[in-house]
A and B are shown apart, each in its own frame.
Chain A
Amino acid sequence: METLWFLIVAAMVTAYVVLDGFDLGAGVIYLGAGKTPAERQRIMRAIGPVWDGNEVWLLAAGGTLYFAFPRLYASSFSGFYLPLMMVLWLLMLRGIGIELRAHMDNPVWRGFFDVVFCASSILLCIFFGAALGNVVRGVPLGPDGYFFEPLWTNFRVNHGTSGINNGILDWYTVLTGVIALVTLTAHGSLYVAVKTEDGLNRRARSIAKWIWPLQLLLTVVGLIATVSIRPGVLDNYRQHALGFVIPLLVFGSLAVMMHGLLRQADKMAFLASAVYIIAMLGGAAFALYPVVLPASTDPARNLTIYNAAAGRHGLVVGLAWWVPGMILALGYFVFLFRMFKGKVRLGGEGY
């Protein structure tokens, strides 16, 4: 039962990253790819009807995490207090940027909110990547299962007795932040390419093309770095050889992405990018299981799916509403994306 909820929460977080990832990525390239106000308008129009629905996945994933693993929620949210509050402020700025931009007639203020939107998108990508890096690296859990991390200490990855000194940012989590930025930039560029035509379409595609070698390089560096700071991540792969499908998927999807880019098949490349994200996150989840929050202080303090889960009865009851709820939610999303499918055009209602 705990394993099932681990899979559900991991799947919901992944869905959030894949979905909000493309509108975050569209925000990253927003100023670079959109050269004229009309082109920027098109990028906005491409994400306009879906971005806040995508963000709801964060809330739903957070709510489900709270429900299934209350101890993990309590410990990680209070421990990551400062960065989470900053993520909140960035999410607010970004939402306001998108919304207000549509209401501004004066090009000066439009320009201002364009920058707010782009900058907050970039920072959010880095923060989310660093957050994942923190979870993989481990946090300084105390004997009571709580911790508090400052934003940075000495930028080293510490373990054992000095594991208590870890900060949110060190060389490893900065690296994962950059990987997330690059990944989502490619993802967002491909989404914009799918949704637009002409100059903007070509420009978005060429951004993805330029970024591809960097993404390949960082994937390799990231894997090496992860194994070097936490050799234990390979344990699950050693025990279950099936796990090696995941790295195959990672590199396979990168190959398909390039193939799609060269053949100007934007949709294929975008889907490959989605598979890449799923495989990367799935690989991390597979490596951690059954641990959900490793302790950098003492492995005995690890939070696992067993010691962090809610009561058995609650978990069973939860399935009874989660399954129909999910079916409904998927239904809405399929409907919504079909309504707004195809290339965006200007004119008419909306952003």
Chain B
Amino acid sequence: MDSALFVHRLHFAFTITFHYLFPQLTMGLAPLIVVLKTLALRNQDDTYDQAARFWARIFGINFVFGVVTGIPMEFQFGTNWSHFSRFAGGVIGQTLAMEGMFAFFLESAFLGLFLYGEKRLSPRAHWWSAVAVFLGSWLSGFFIIATDAWMQHPVGYSHAPDGSVQLSSFWALVLNPWAWWQYAHNMSGAVITGTFVMASVGAFYLLSGKFVEFGRIFVRVGVVAGLIFSVLQLFPTGDGQGRMIAYHQPVTLAAMEALFAPEPGAPLVLIGQPNVDEKKIDNPLIIPSALSFLTYRAWKAEVQGLDAFPQDAWPSNVALLYYSYHIMVGLGTLFIVVMVMAAFLLWRGKLFDSHSMLWILLLALPFPYIANTAGWMTAEIGRQPWLVYQLMRTADGYSKTVSAGNGMFTLLGFMGMYTVLGILFLFLMRREIEHGPRDASPHEKPTPVEAAGS
């Protein structure tokens, strides 16, 4: 592997993986904050308002980290992937610019209003500002997904004389079927992160006997929404996304399943290690014919194996792709199990006293992050060796003028910077959670210094 290519790939992979830790929580929390604000407005209960303010503060911190780590993403299209930008900018420039024009302005303007304007707005107007933040963050998600979906499944373009591609149909780009399945699957995944985080914080409050009235709200909202979205994640969104891959990227599906020989009635591998050299799976645990059914709704349908494709069309890292995919699916299944159990206990009225279930909810916190990251790795490694599927190879897309040494310098810079950011983030989160949702939070109570000065 060319070393400059490798550095540029790692550069993007590292920065985007770190970046997406923040938006998945903001996009996941936004609808939950609207739910809390709605409950507050309906019940005229200030507890829900305080709960909404608490999550808005968590949202605000995540939003800032999302913005500061997101700006490098837009820059890197030009800095590290300039040949790709020149090739595809005529198409994906549309969605990226629309994200800026529609989503960013909406989100940032109303977040300022939502966080700092509660005293100046009527309760209903404040509710609307929460809705606007929700819309902004979800619009932003759509434009990014539409961009990625075009790279996965290019539509609505034509070739220009200079070799680049140009937009020929705006609606084809925005209505790309791949984009809608991927969007549904991705946003549901983000909400799962939001619900697990909310339930986890709630479980922590209940277990430690602090802010118990809030702990109950968080666990209840987290578990109910978490159950709904864990199921939606599997069906219909995960199923629909999987069939998109089966129809449009059959080689990717074969690699995700590490299926080497074409098989009628292909099995679904639950566990096992792909052995790419010998083209088999070691230690397999399988469900016979299940893959054929899931893909084509017929038990005997033939699923193409990797052997059906030339090796230079295979995703460049079959084993990593296989693990990413299986970790995502395995965790997704566990999320359903956890949420069904928690929801059952909630329905029976026993959840708030069940220490073991609360412990499970508390400790589940990191896993939605892992599942979302593994899902994105599946999508991006699965598309390889293409940068734009069957139009441009990844090896042709990076900035030829930026040497491996310069790329490594900034990659190390980002690693250092993000380590500091990560520590600060955890520190801020711990601080907010310690202070808790009850009013007279650190922001509202003037510190001694301020009080003396004003």
Which residues of A are in contact with B by a Cβ distance under 8 Å? 36-39, 41, 48-50, 52-53, 55-56, 58-64, 66-68, 70-71, 73-82, 84-85, 88-89, 91-92, 95-96, 99-100, 102-103, 105, 107, 146-148, 310-311, 313-314, 317-318, 321-322, 325-326, 328-329, 332-333, 335-336, 339-340, 345-350
Contacts and interface: CB of A to CB of B under 8 A. Distances in A.
Interface string B166-179: 11101000000000
A318 B409 CA distance: 37
Nearest to A329: B105
Given A70-B85, A77-B82, A350-B443, A38 B170 contact: no
A328 B116 CA distance: 21
A81 B402 contact: yes
A328 B119 CA distance: 24
B52 to A, nearest CB: 14
Contacts of B119: 348-349
Contacts of B410: 81-82, 85
Contact of B446 (A53, A73, A347): A347
Contacts of A36: 453
Interface string B151-179: 00000001010001011101000000000
A37 B446 CA distance: 13
Contact of B401 (A71, A79, A332): A79
A70 B93 contact: yes
Contacts of A329: 101, 105, 109
Which 9 pairs of residues, A with B, have the shortest CB-CB distance?
A: A38-B453, A70-B89, A77-B78, A311-B166, A67-B93, A325-B101, A60-B100, A63-B100, A67-B97
Contact of A91 (B68, B116, B118, B452): B68
A322 B102 CA distance: 9
Contacts of B88: 70
Contact of A74 (B69, B82, B452): B82
B77 A55 contact: no
A73 B447 CA distance: 46
A71 B89 contact: yes
16 contacts: A49-B116, A63-B96, A66-B93, A67-B94, A68-B93, A78-B399, A89-B413, A99-B61, A100-B424, A311-B90, A311-B167, A314-B90, A318-B97, A335-B109, A345-B454, A349-B118
B79 A78 contact: yes
Q: Is the interface of A mostly helix, strand, loop or mixed?
A: helix
Contacts of B399: 78, 81, 146
Contacts of B115: 349-350
Given A56-B108, A96-B421, A317-B170, A64 B453 contact: no
A76 B442 CA distance: 44
Nearest to B416: A89
Interface of B: 61, 64, 67-69, 71-72, 74-75, 77-80, 82-83, 85-86, 88-91, 93-94, 96-102, 104-106, 108-113, 115-120, 158, 160, 164, 166-168, 170, 399-403, 406, 409-410, 413, 417, 421, 424, 428, 431, 442-444, 446-447, 449-450, 452-454
A66 B89 contact: yes
Given A81-B410, A332-B105, 5 more contacts: A48-B116, A78-B82, A95-B67, A328-B105, A349-B443
B417 A74 contact: no
A349 B53 CA distance: 11
A64 B101 contact: yes
A313 B166 CA distance: 8
Contacts of A92: 68-69, 71, 417, 421
Contacts of A322: 97, 101
Contact of A81 (B90, B168, B406): B406
A52 B112 contact: yes
A332 B109 contact: yes
Contact of B453 (A37, A52, A340, A348): A37
Contacts of B117: 49, 339-340
Nearest to A75: B82
A325 B116 CA distance: 25
A74 B108 CA distance: 27
B100 A84 contact: no
B4 to A, nearest CB: 12
A49 B120 CA distance: 13
A105 B441 CA distance: 13
Given A62-B74, A75-B82, A37 B449 contact: yes
A96 B64 CA distance: 8
A321 B98 contact: yes
Given A73-B85, A78-B399, A317 B167 contact: yes
A311 to B, nearest CB: 3
Contact of B86 (A70, A332, A340): A70
A77 B72 CA distance: 12
Given A53-B108, A321-B101, A77 B89 contact: no
A74 B399 CA distance: 8
B97 A85 contact: no
B71 to A, nearest CB: 6
Contacts of A325: 98, 101-102, 105
A243 to B, nearest CB: 29
B75 A88 contact: yes
Contact of A88 (B72, B93, B108): B72
Contact of B64 (A60, A64, A99, A340): A99
Contacts of A79: 401
Contacts of B158: 311
Interface centre among A63, A75, A148, A318 (most CB of B within 10 A): A63
